[in-house]
Amino acid sequence: MNYTVTKRNNITIIKINLSQATREHSKEFKLFLVELIQQEKAKKIIIDFEPVYYVDSSFLGSLVGGLKESTNLKGDIKVMNLNPAVKSLFEITRLYKIFEIFTDVEDAVLSF
Amino acid sequence: MKGYVLAGGRGKRFEPFTKENNKVMMDFWERPLLWYSLNLLQSHGVKEVAINAAHMPEQIDKYVNYELHSELNINLTLESEHYGTAGTIKRTPSFFNDHVALIPGDVITTIDLSEMYNNHYNNDAIVTLALHPNYLAKNKTRPQVNKITDSDMFHCFRKKMSGVMIVRQDILDLIPKKTNMNLLDELLPMMLDYKIQINAFSSKSGFYNIDDWSDYYKATLDMFNHPELHDRSKIVKMNNNIYHHVNAKFSKQVLKNDFQRLYFGENVSVENKCKLKGDVYIGSFSKLNEDARLTDSVVGSNTILGKGLNLNNDLVKDKYLYSNKNEVAVYVDDENLLKENDSKTFGESLNELLISFTDKFVAAVALLCLSPLFALVALLIKLESPGPVFYVSSRVLSPRHERKGKKWYQFKGGSNIKYYVFRTMYVNADKMVKKLNNKYETGPFVKIENDPRVTKIGRLLRKTSIDELPLFWNVLVGKMSLVGIWALPTYEAEHLANKGLQSTVNNSRQIDLSETARLRFDGKLGLAGFWQSRGRSNLTAEERAIHDSFQAVLTNQKSSDAKFMGEYYKFKSYVGYWRILIETFFSVVKRTGAI
């Protein structure tokens, strides 16, 4: 599986098992997220990017699509374990303004 | 003991400098302000430091990870908004497994942190706050010197005396969850209300809170008394209290404004006989023309000082060019002075040359091969509906900003770029766009399906992207590149500049992508881009904004960003250029998503 889901209380943690999260995966990722939000009613979502060293704009577009879906239903998506280059990208493209970024899972869980 | 540098502030008082810079990255005696906090922590044996940033965090990230070369283990926390100093530390409980020294990022001090820690530890305090002994005299209201009282807190804010504190882990329990709270003016007074003791540490050490240009100016001058904090040899003292330090340029128009405090960025020019009063900071690489007057100001490095310039109590950084009142000759201190600031590396220049050559070559070949097709298309357009063959769309890449009203910057239409494309709509289509806006989708990126304004031949041209092929002419004449982002129609650019891009559902604001979306204004103009090659009109407004902004940002990197951007740096290269070009070509061939 490209995405592993674990639950902690009512928080859903999605681990992305890809080294490059790009447009090849962007459609399936959006569908996966939307289904999780709509069907399984996942409101508090943390996405763990640990193995990912490259994310492209299509994949992040899907992530924003997921966030839109989630905020519709009064939920939120936070991200965790960004590799330095990916973190740089979140910084210069100002995406950190819409996604809270964490380095520690406990901090992320407590932030909800 | 760990350290936490509080750098979450927006630095409003330093605008417009802080519009594009983080306050703690402000140059102070040849070093960013942040350096002083980090240096203080390191010199007192701190190994692990956290820094929070809500504004321009990439500057701090680049600095601490690629320029500073410090032994400190530094962790940068990003905040989507500033949560207040208490809200900030509440967000990273995992960091607070030890006592933590909290240092405001805009403070320069020589305080003895080790001694303060001992005092904090021995008194088993939750919080220890540093204060000048003047405020800690024993009197009726203060039976114990080491306890902070309400009146101390009052002094703290009035005199901006402190902000340096050491806290114990359990302080986090006192901070409410999801709060926007400050430590000094909210949490500590609240603790006093609940009779929770705050330990006081008396310190006579030098303390500068750089809160506005006036503080900056005073602190800069005062550094002469603190040689331990800097390399003294770098500033040259001239007569009449003028210190020459480092470059600046001010325009007449800007100077007409009656601001008490002014900051002018790099490459500013001051026109003849302009007067600058009050606390003025002039950035690097500037030019002060003849007879300009400057009082109580700080001028950046590599400034050209005009003949007869009147300086009074000013601080001018080094590498200056000074033309004396009585002499026509100029004295050049630095040979590189007049060279451009953003000099390109050989690789970058070669890259630009290759791209420009490829642009023109491909465009010329394409126009030549496509000319029979163009003639056919022109005929078909003429036959189907009355009107011209070409449609001229007036567009802007980035709106110009100008000072207007209370705000420093406000949108004003930028210079137009004319897009000649084949006409695909009926002649009066432009007038219908506002109605359609309301009907279909709001926001600056309108893409309407089954648009009734499009002609039959127009639909085919759009689907095959043939309508855009005349743009090769713009490429050939050097007005745009093959790879780059599209200029928006003026009304869309205006909307994006003024109102941003916010997703709204059920009339409530949801996700604000404005800051991300506006990055497209910094991009390079071109035909093929990320969003054209990745789905075209099938994309949502948000997705398109992300594609455009990514492209703008990734192709704008400097060679010094190579390490910082890692894998993303390759977009800047000639190979990256070809990759986008080929991807777009195949995407167009597949006709994905075109209406």
pLDDT tens digit sequence for B494-507: 788 778 888 766 65
User: Taking all residues of chain B, what is their mean pLDDT, rounded to a whole number?
Assistant: 73
Rounded Cα distance, B19 and B79, in Å: 17
Give buried/exposed letters for B452-473 (b at 16+ CB in 10 A, else e). Answer: ebbbebbbebbeebbbbbbbbe
With both helix axes pointing from N to C terminus, report the angle between A23-38 and A57-72 in degrees, rounded to the nearest 10.
10
With both helix axes pointing from N to C terminus, report the angle between B574-590 and B346-384 in degrees, rounded to the nearest 10.
20
Residue B294 is predicted with a pLDDT of 63
Residue A33 is predicted with a pLDDT of 92
Residue B305 is predicted with a pLDDT of 60
Tell me, letter by letter, the H, E, C secondary structure of B517-574. Answer: HHHHHHCCEEEECHHHHCCHHHCCHHHHHHHHHHHHHHHCCCHHHHHHHHHHHHHHCH
Three-point CA angle B367, B368, B373, nearest 5°? 75
Listing DSSP states for B28-85 in one string gives: ETTEEHHHHHHHHHHHTT--EEEEEESSSHHHHHHIIIII---SSEEEEEE-SS--HH
Q: Nearest Cα to B246, choosing from B310, B341, B342, B326?
A: B341
Are B343 and B323 within 8 A, CB to CB? no
DSSP classification of residue B233 = G
Q: For B365-419, how does the pLDDT look when each residue is reduced to its tens digit (9 = 90+)? A: 999 998 998 889 888 888 888 888 888 887 877 765 544 333 333 344 456 788 8
- CB contact (8 A) between residue B75 and residue A54: no
Residues of B in contact with A30 (CB under 8 A): none
Rounded Cα distance, B468 and B527, in Å: 9
Angstrom CA distances, B518 to B80, B492, B497, B540, stand at 17, 12, 7, 16
Kindly report the nearest CA distance between residue A107 and chain B, in angstroms: 6
The contacts of residue B540 (CB under 8 Å, 6+ apart) are: A61, A65
The contacts of residue B379 (CB under 8 Å, 6+ apart) are: none
Domains of chain B: 2-209 (3.90.550.10), 235-332 (no CATH), 346-590 (no CATH)
Rounded Cα distance, A98 and B238, in Å: 50
**Residue to test with chain B: of A94, A105, A110, most B Cβ within 10 A:** A94
Surface-to-core class of residue B13, CB atoms within 10 Å of its CB (0-12 exposed, 13-18 middle, 19+ buried)? middle
Please name the helix (run of DSSP H) or strand (run of DSSP E) that holds residue B110, with its range, or none. none
Task: Give the pLDDT of chain B (595 residues) as one tens digit per residue.
Answer: 999 999 988 888 776 567 778 999 987 776 889 999 999 999 999 999 999 999 999 999 999 998 888 899 999 999 888 888 899 999 889 999 999 999 999 888 888 899 999 999 998 989 998 887 766 655 555 555 566 666 666 565 555 556 899 999 999 999 988 778 888 888 888 888 888 888 888 887 778 888 876 677 677 767 666 666 655 444 443 333 333 333 333 444 333 333 344 545 555 566 555 566 555 556 556 666 655 666 656 665 556 665 556 665 555 544 444 433 322 222 233 333 333 344 567 888 888 899 999 999 999 999 999 899 888 988 888 888 888 888 888 787 776 554 433 333 334 445 678 888 888 888 776 666 555 554 444 444 445 556 777 788 888 888 777 888 888 898 998 888 888 888 888 778 878 877 888 876 665 657 888 888 888 888 888 888 777 766 555 778 888 888 888 888 888 777 778 788 887 887 778 888 888 888 888 877 776 444 4
Are B375 and B416 within 8 A, CB to CB? no
- CB contact (8 A) between residue A97 and residue B61: no
Residue B60 is predicted with a pLDDT of 94
Residue B404 is predicted with a pLDDT of 39
Are B308 and B294 within 8 A, CB to CB? no
Closest CA in chain A for residue B515:
A94
Rounded Cα distance, A42 and A70, in Å: 8
Rounded-to-10 torsion of CA B452, B453, B456, B460: -100
Domain boundaries, chain A: 3-110
- CB contact (8 A) between residue A106 and residue B94: yes
Q: For A76-103, how does the pLDDT look when each residue is reduced to its tens digit (9 = 90+)? A: 899 999 999 999 999 999 999 999 999 9
User: In this predicted complex, what is the ipTM?
Assistant: 0.92
Token output for B568: 């993303």
Residue B439 is predicted with a pLDDT of 43
Rounded Cα distance, B54 and B81, in Å: 6
Q: Which of B75, B515, B546 sits opposite A61 (nearest CB)?
A: B546
DSSP classification of residue B140 = T
The contacts of residue B246 (CB under 8 Å, 6+ apart) are: B30, B284, B299, B300, B301, B302, B303, B316, B317, B318, B319, B320
- CB contact (8 A) between residue B553 and residue A64: no
Kindly report the nearest CA distance between residue A39 and chain B, in angstroms: 20
Are A44 and A11 within 8 A, CB to CB? yes
Closest CA in chain A for residue B563:
A85
Token output for B391: 């449609």
- CB contact (8 A) between residue A92 and residue B58: yes
Q: Which of A61, A67, A103 sits opposite B547 (nearest CB)?
A: A61
Q: For B177-215, how does the pLDDT look when each residue is reduced to its tens digit (9 = 90+)? A: 877 888 888 888 888 888 888 888 888 777 888 887 667
SS3 category, B417: strand
List residues in chain B touching A: CB distance below 8 A: 57-58, 61, 65, 75, 77-81, 91-94, 503, 505, 510-513, 515-516, 519, 530, 534-535, 539-540, 542-543, 546-547, 549-551, 553, 564-568
Kindly report the nearest CA distance between residue B167 and chain A, in angstroms: 19
Are B98 and B169 within 8 A, CB to CB? yes
B86 residue type, one letter: A
- CB contact (8 A) between residue B93 and residue A106: yes
Q: Which of A72, A92, A98 sits opposite B513 (nearest CB)?
A: A98
Please name the helix (run of DSSP H) or strand (run of DSSP E) that holds residue B288, with its range, or none. strand B287-288
Kindly report the nearest CA distance between residue A102 and chain B, in angstroms: 8
Kindly report the nearest CA distance between residue A82 and chain B, in angstroms: 12
The contacts of residue A39 (CB under 8 Å, 6+ apart) are: none
- CB contact (8 A) between residue B543 and residue A90: no
- Beta strand segments in A17-104, E: 20-21, 44-48, 54-55, 76-80, 100-102
Residues of A in contact with B512 (CB under 8 A): 97-98
Residues of A in contact with B93 (CB under 8 A): 106-107, 110
Residues of A in contact with B519 (CB under 8 A): 93-94
- CB contact (8 A) between residue A88 and residue B546: no
Kindly report the nearest CA distance between residue B223 and chain A, in angstroms: 33
Pick the CATH number of A3-110 from 3.10.450.50, 3.40.250.10, 3.30.750.24, 3.40.50.300: 3.30.750.24
Q: Which of A57, A68, A84 sits opposite B566 (nearest CB)?
A: A84
Most distant CA pair in chain B: distance in Å? 98
A to B CB pairs, distance under 8 Å = 112
- CB contact (8 A) between residue B534 and residue A57: yes
A75 phi-psi bin (left φ>0, alpha ψ -120 to 50, beta other): beta
List residues in chain A touching B: CB distance below 8 A: 23, 53-54, 56-58, 60-62, 64-65, 67-68, 71-72, 83-85, 87-101, 103-104, 106-107, 110-111
Residues of B in contact with A95 (CB under 8 A): 516, 546
